[in-house]
Structure 1
Amino acid sequence: MAGKVRHLINRSGRYHARLVVPKDLRDVVGKTELRSPLGGDYRQALKLLPGAVARLQHQIAQAERKAGQGHAQAGAGRYPLAADQIALSHYNQRLAFDDLLRNEPGYADSGIDDLYVNRLRKAVAGRSSDDELQALIGDQLERFRAVGNVSAGQGSDEWRVIARALCSAELEALARVAERDEGDFTGTPTVPIIVNAQPPSDAPEPVSLKRLWADYVTARKQAGFMRDNGRQLGLTVERLRKFVKHDDAARLTKKDIVEWRDHLLKDLAAKTVSDKYLSTIRSLLNWAVDNERLTQNVAATVKQPKPRQRRSREKGFTDAEALKLLKASREYTPHEDERGRVREKPELIAAKRWVPMLAAFSGARVTELTQLRKEDLRKEGGHWGMRITPDAGSVKTSEYRDVPLHQQLIDEGFERFLEQAGSGPLFHGGKEPARYATKAVRISSQLAEWLRRDGLVPDGVQPNHAWRHRFKTQCRELGVSDRVADAIQGHAGRTAADDYGDVTLKTKADAIAKLPSYGI
């Protein structure tokens, strides 16, 4: 899958450059984000993107000066860099951007514009006018001005030196691009202005990883995510801090992330490293860049290939396996100790009795069922249904959905169970809504352990997902469209067309009624 290009978004088939406005500047700018249209052609949008982002960054820099937040006089560079340092920075950013673009099919076939190369060579030789330099490299130069690296006025000697340095860096980057098109990714810069460039004397302000993570969690919670306060994924950040032996996100390099990845692979599966560790750090640093906390995401292109899973059977339960599990659920009797006492909590006993059948006839995620509250079940027009809602804990799509109940659930006594249940959660003992999601996850894990321990789940089958796979398979066999099955199960639509029209409650009820009862 192609990697996400930073600052590029697609809205209704049209591409735009997008930059988030820092919170403390939104009153000045009057917006929460800035956008610049790039047209409907993806390849052309990629070419226009760097210049458009530079102009948006310049608007934010102007707003910052207007708000009086700059640390120097208006027009002065806040973080000045020498011409060779700017050339080195541009060279590195240009190749990093090339890394991202090579995830796009056909990019390497686009070729290099010979006329553009000749114009760059003319500029490096000092034969270009100020207007020609501005047209050639002005957008890139303004990008450095926007972040405070440049303060020279257009047409000045200093401005021309910087412009020519950028042209030299662009030529050198294009040489690497051409080598990469032939499969050679080993090239290094050769021009002295880049080879001999010295790093800035003043290091950037430290950015605490720990503080960054706390702010990121706060932002995600405000958006309705991370109800566990980031406790699980926070361990990822702690492992990175321990590995690099410091807490400064601004000091992280791509090499650090690569070495950390290789270190993790000594003890963890490639899928875990990719889907949990690298994904978490990549998202954190991307958020930091979008919110002006860091200038680049050094983890953006660090990936870990995952081995293809070997499958020797279907993902869902077979008819025989489903019947065996539901019988065990129906006949479940909690274990008594030597004194005749039942140690198992009533909520877990109820979960073992009803959650498997609820999953069988809804294809819902098990945790969505273990977090159900009594008030989430209701009877309307003589028919029972359940509302799966993030108010009860956590829903992957963050949207509620109503799911009708199959008649066999009522025949088995689920209505009587609801009448006897107290208000609040049905399958866990949580008292505080903030803890519901954590409690529901724990119960779903205990259910999975029970199923495995009692031999009710075959090897290679995920107990908390097998019902979802089976439900989708049954719907297809019964002629129920994937669109309707997705609406019942809470799957997002695969195309824009899937978002048009509604799947009504009646449509869902008709689909669920087609499911055959189990002979338990």
Structure 2
Amino acid sequence: MVLAMSRPSRRSDSAHFLFRKRVPADIQAKQAGGKVVFSFPPEMGSGEPIRVTGTIGTEVKVSLRTRDPEVAKARNGIAQAQFQAFCEGVRRGPETLTHAQVIALSGVWYRRWVDRLRDMPGSPAVWRKWVDLLDRAAAKGAVVREIGPIVDEFLAEERLTVDEDSRERLCDAIHKAMKQAGRLLHRFAEGDYRPDPDADRFPEWRGVRPKSAEADTPKGTLTLDDLFGRWKRESSPSASTITTWRSYIRSLKEHLGHDDVRRITKADVVAWKDALVAAGFASVRKGQLAAIKALFSYALQNNLITANPADGVTVRQKKKAGERMLPYDDTEVGHILALADAETNPAKRWLPWLMALSGARVGEVAQLWGQRITAVDGVPVMKIAPAEDGGSLKNEGSERTVPIHPAIIERGFLDFVQKRGDGPLFYGDRRKHVRAKPGEARRHASKGVANHLAAWVRENGFTDPRKAPSHAFRHWFKTRCQRLGILDSIADAIQGHASGQEADGYRHGPIATLDEAIRRIPVPEAPTRR
């Protein structure tokens, strides 16, 4: 049964588009009140996928997490395909998992959780309590009751329906994987990043072959370029992402000696990853490997392949001493801001101030439009969002409202905005700047602004390779907040910087609270000339 195509709609209480779909009667009868998880590619092509959960009733509806009509259209198509796959799985009935499949699935959970929290594991005390709570659940014989909701959400995310015996065995297996992850993250939190010697106990997850596997197995050749083209049309990535991912695909094709997606095995992906690491590439996990995983995940979700050959493949790269990126110190920030004060070019004049006193990324402020400099509850703010002419942000959490520091206002920033009008503040002729056509790869104008600003910073003598010309402001702001005792959650809300905890989505800092924190940030003094 093919489901009729739906179109994205508007919510009455939100500017975001909505996926809304009538649920077939047979699915309602079997799954009423159940959950279905939708997964969309991340905005910038790397990082965590965007996941939303819907409840099965007479219809299912979820936010598409975007105000952009083109992105909404692409995500609506993805949601349609995923919902159809969900319905087909329900109609096939519950699967019975083998013991190896149960342990392999618990390994998927383990790797996903560890990878998500590896860089910011939090406090060791949190993980001691985590393991203690898991031990108590086992002692009370309450593993299925307490772990069950987590397992159900995980199964919904994987679009799996299993029988009750398989579910109970999976609860026990994920309970053990949780303890293993908790002990490892406890070590990470204490500064010990040695790998888990038991991480290889999990077999590879190859998915559950449908009962009609032979009929459903994709036939023919699917090239990497064909797959990328399909993903690109639905995902509407930025021009820089298109260029970068094409280079990754070219690298994989050169390594394999062919471009047939259905011939690629996990061993092939591991060998490619090992070759990249050996060649000295520094960000394989978040770059090449993340991109290929996203492509194969898309292919699997759309029934183009039967298993993701990149699933479970990761890189255990450690930063060496002397390689970690550093913040500017107070003197350097004061010096750059003094140089900015002497500039007449708008980007050089205002962007260093906006970055330093908000901790924003350069790409976020470089694409500001005048109409997004406004006031909330009497507080002057900048609304950080994708530029109206087709800009993009790093991820969903990057969209936020940030108070403007009084020192910036005192220097006449609001007067500057008023003169520039409602359009772009730092690039181009506002009358000529238009959105790129769907599928057209065009680098956003703000990228050039950001690059010119970085060159200007370097030209003025700030050449330390461990201090990124613009991003070192973001590091400085975070460090300053820490020194002033500003809560991490408040600093993260100002910077649009997720800590990796599930609770992030529930925190919405009041403007007055964010404004009070920003006002506490002192403006560093410029060095005295001798």
TM-score, normalised with respect to structure 1: 0.57
| 1:60 aligned onto 2:88 | yes
Distance 1:360 1:401, change over 3 A: same
Letter in 2 for 1:388: I
| 1:416 aligned onto 2:415 | yes
Distance (Å, rounded) in 1 between the aligned partners of 2:21 and 2:225 = 22
Distance (Å, rounded) in 1 between the aligned partners of 2:342 and 2:483 = 29
Instruction: Tell me which residue corresponds to 2:226.
Output: 211
Shift of 1:59: 6.7
Deviations 1:19-41 (A, max 9, x none): xxxx999869758x989989xxx
Distance (Å, rounded) in 2 between the aligned partners of 1:28 and 1:212 = 34
CA contact (8 A) 1:25 1:63 kept: no
SS at match of 1:273: coil
Instruction: Tell me which residue corresponds to 2:346.
Output: 350
Distance 1:30 1:375, change over 3 A: farther
Distance (Å, rounded) in 1 between the aligned partners of 2:266 and 2:347 = 46
Deviations 1:406-429 (A, max 9, x none): 111122222232232244211122
Deviations 1:467-493 (A, max 9, x none): 112112222222321221111111225
Instruction: Tell me which residue corresponds to 1:388.
Output: 384
Deviations 1:210-240 (A, max 9, x none): 222222223333xxx5465733223212332
Alignment of 1:437-456 (within 5 A): 438-456=444-462
Instruction: Tell me which residue corresponds to 2:513.
Output: 507
Distance (Å, rounded) in 1 between the aligned partners of 2:395 and 2:500 = 13
CA contact (8 A) 1:240 1:260 kept: yes
Choose from 483, 495, 498 the match for 1:492: 498
Deviations 1:291-330 (A, max 9, x none): 2211111121333321324248882111111111111222
Deviations 1:423-458 (A, max 9, x none): 421112271234897222232122222212322253
Letter in 1 for 2:284: V
Letter in 1 for 2:460: D
Alignment of 1:439-478 (within 5 A): 439-478=445-484
CA radius of gyration, larger in = 1
Distance (Å, rounded) in 2 between the aligned partners of 1:273 and 1:443 = 27
Alignment of 1:69-84 (within 5 A): none
CA contact (8 A) 1:282 1:299 kept: yes
| 1:397 aligned onto 2:395 | yes
Distance (Å, rounded) in 2 between the aligned partners of 1:504 and 1:245 = 55
Percent identity for Structure 1 against Structure 2:
29
Shift of 1:465: 1.9
Letter in 1 for 2:231: Y
Shift of 1:264: 3.2
| 1:304 aligned onto 2:307 | no
Distance (Å, rounded) in 2 between the aligned partners of 1:401 and 1:451 = 27
Deviations 1:322-364 (A, max 9, x none): 111111222247xxxxxxxxxxxxxxx3211110001111111
Letter in 2 for 1:417: F
**Count of residues in Structure 1 that have an aligned counterpart in Structure 2:** 354
| 1:482 aligned onto 2:491 | no
Shift of 1:91: 11
CA contact (8 A) 1:316 1:469 kept: yes
Q: Name stretches of at least 5 consecutive residues in structure 2 with no aligned partner.
A: 1-19, 36-83, 93-97, 115-130, 136-160, 162-195, 202-213
Alignment of 1:91-106 (within 5 A): 100=108, 103=111
Shift of 1:394: 1.8
Choose from 254, 264, 272 the match for 1:260: 272
- After superposing the two structures, state which structure 1 stretch, 376-385 or 402-411, moved more: 376-385
SS at match of 2:311: coil
Instruction: Tell me which residue corresponds to 2:434.
Output: 432
CA contact (8 A) 2:27 2:90 kept: no
Q: RMSD value over aligned CA atoms?
A: 4.4
SS at match of 1:445: helix
Letter in 2 for 1:301: G
Shift of 1:265: 4.0
The structure showing larger relative contact order (alpha-carbon pairs under 8 Å, at least 6 residues apart) is: 2
Letter in 2 for 1:205: G
SS at match of 2:368: coil
Instruction: Tell me which residue corresponds to 1:166.
Output: none
